[in-house]
Amino acid sequence: MPLVTSTEMFKKAYDGGYAIGAFNVNNMEIVQGITEACQEEHAPVILQVSKGARAYANHTYLVKLVEAAVECCPDIPIVLHLDHGPDFETCKSCIDGGFTSVMIDASSKPFAENIEITKKVVEYAHDHGVVVEAELGTLAGIEDEVKVAAHEASYTHPEEVEEFVSKTGCDSLAIAIGTSHGAYKFKPEQCTRDPKTGRLVPPPLAFDILHEIEEKLPGFPIVLHGSSSVPEEYVKIIDQYGGNLPNAVGIPEEQLREASKSAVCKINIDSDSRLAYTAGVRETLAQHPDYFDPRQYGKVARKYMTEMYSHKIIDVLGSDHKLINCD
């Protein structure tokens, strides 16, 4: 099937109590790892591209990689989505360039200006058959050009969501309830330590805010950004083979699974892909110092990512075996 929008995906996810995985793509191995997992688990998927990925890999290369995935996986509904579009011009470029979904992130702007910018993108996107994700509230952390200090982050205000959605016409809304970008989502002083394992335990997500938003926007799809769990096994491999990721901590998977049973229809995962990829590369090169062919370590990195994506689809998102009528 051709690329699709997220409209039917989100309807099914909302009614079915699961979320769609939105995985960031930067190169061929990542695209292959995601789609191989989706084929194995019979799961719809959102392949998303950030401004940084477009700068790194080039818009055309990324679109063609996704088109290849569509051709190789004809039974998998695939959305091509712009992640954190910073302005109208970037969103327009992606809409004109074949994307089926875009995010306009004007969350750092004042409320009225966020509405104005988002509405402009929505009007252009809808005229071209493309859906739009917007954002209210700001997440802490670092992801490509998105850099927000912890003291600058703010939870979404539930009392604003009805007005925002009504005035902008956006199709889904990313909210801030305590998730964070990057592999260092929380500082140690924000966490407690498990006395048995010594691992950092982050503060819980603000489910009270999520549930209040659900009540104000019944049936409306909600999005969580910054939702990597930063798997300990990959951090250990990276550190074992020359890396240095002290106090890396993510969002507990049980909290993400709880969120996916609510109005949250899309969960963004990026850092976990990077960790799995890097773990595979570091481990392979350390164990085989004679290797110099990228296919040798790329194959292992892709395998680690495929395993990670399958786990997320089944145990975190609950989106396995959900292919019916997503187009």
In tens digits, what is the pLDDT along the chain, a chain of 327 residues?
A: 899 999 999 999 999 999 999 999 999 999 999 999 999 999 999 999 999 999 999 999 999 999 999 999 999 999 999 999 999 999 999 999 999 999 999 999 999 999 999 999 999 999 999 999 999 998 754 455 544 444 445 889 999 999 999 999 999 999 999 887 655 556 777 778 888 777 787 888 999 999 999 999 999 999 999 888 999 999 999 999 999 998 888 899 999 999 999 999 999 999 999 999 999 999 999 999 999 999 999 999 999 999 999 999 999 999 999 986 555
The CATH architecture that domain 7-317 belongs to is Alpha-Beta Barrel (3.20)
> Of the candidates 245, 241, 219, 242, which has an alpha carbon nearest to the alpha carbon of residue 232?
245
Nearest 5°: the CA angle 311, 315, 316 is 100
Largest Cα–Cα distance in the chain? 60
| Residues that are catalytic | 83
Please tell me whether residue 61 adopts helix, strand or coil conformation: helix
- Terminal C-alpha separation, the chain: 8
Nearest 5°: the CA angle 291, 306, 7 is 140
315 secondary structure, DSSP code? I
Q: Cα–Cα distances in Å, from 96 out to 17, 99, 117, 124, 210?
A: 33, 7, 18, 10, 33
Tokens of 312: 């997320």
